[in-house]
Amino acid sequence: MNAALPDMADQWTSASDNVQGITFSWRIRQGTGGAPPLVLVHGIGPGTTGLINFAPLLARLPALHDVHVIDLIGFGGAIPGGRACTFDVDLWIEQIGKVLDHAGPDAVLVGNSVGGALSLRVAARRPSLPGVLVIGAPAGQQHATAALRAFWSAPADQNALAEAMRPMTAGCAAPPPAVVAARWPAAGDHAHRAAFAAMLADPDACLRAAALPAREAASIRMPLRILHGLQDRACPPGPMAQLVLDHMPHADLVLLGDCGHAIMSERAADVEAARSR
């Protein structure tokens, strides 16, 4: 929820691929080399895109990395015409895999919120991944909190969007107007609002679909770093921590104090430090 949004001028190109008959595109920022490519998978909320979600991290990333920023199918620049978008975990896992194939074998996967849960599901299927960074993922969560239900509803106007975003931070701070304004073109569009509401009509079922099964959790062996805010009202840290304690002895779990679900903006330096380890 940082006010600084990434500059699209000249530095971003696009690529495209096809999954299950759907053509999708994603953004690429070419690096100067000397560091592994990064593939960024956003979380889910009204008006979300990969660039908006990861703006605070993108502002900090060194120029060495090639950066691939995904819009999950149903969001941003990946909304297929004539087809209803659903909360389709298998489709998204396949989409992420396609982008990883383009990024190359050295690519590190970075996932935020539901994008973090999806990244863990991908990691269980791709043991050759060199590393995964997971940020505020509801990977062990079965039921939606009131804060998540409010955020996963189509806002009536920009004020309603801002109110739904408040509980995402530890102190319930108002989001910067620039971030609300950047989200609103999609969040406020009638067709997008209807599709978003339909996709998330049953938040509990969505969480269960994205959750990381115990058997998959135990299979992950590559370097894995998980960041979670202690004051996360949308995706409380308990289920994720329990999943790690019970099934993921190889994972590094860092619980961040004075931090809610908006880790990217509240603790951007910690995210950058975890990425560079």
Cβ neighbours for 232, distance < 8 A, ≥ 6 positions apart: 136, 259, 260, 261
Strands 108-112 vs 22-29: parallel, antiparallel or unpaired? unpaired
- pLDDT tens series, the chain, 277 aa: 444 455 554 589 999 999 998 999 999 999 998 899 999 999 999 999 999 999 999 999 989 999 999 999 988 766 666 566 789 999 999 999 999 999 999 999 999 999 999 999 999 999 999 999 999 999 999 999 999 999 999 999 999 999 999 999 999 999 999 999 999 998 888 888 888 999 999 999 999 999 999 999 999 999 999 999 999 999 999 999 999 999 999 999 999 999 999 999 999 999 999 987 7
E-only strand ranges, 176-267: 224-229, 252-256
Rounded (5°) CA angle 184-50-227: 115
By three-state DSSP, how is residue 27 classified?
Answer: strand
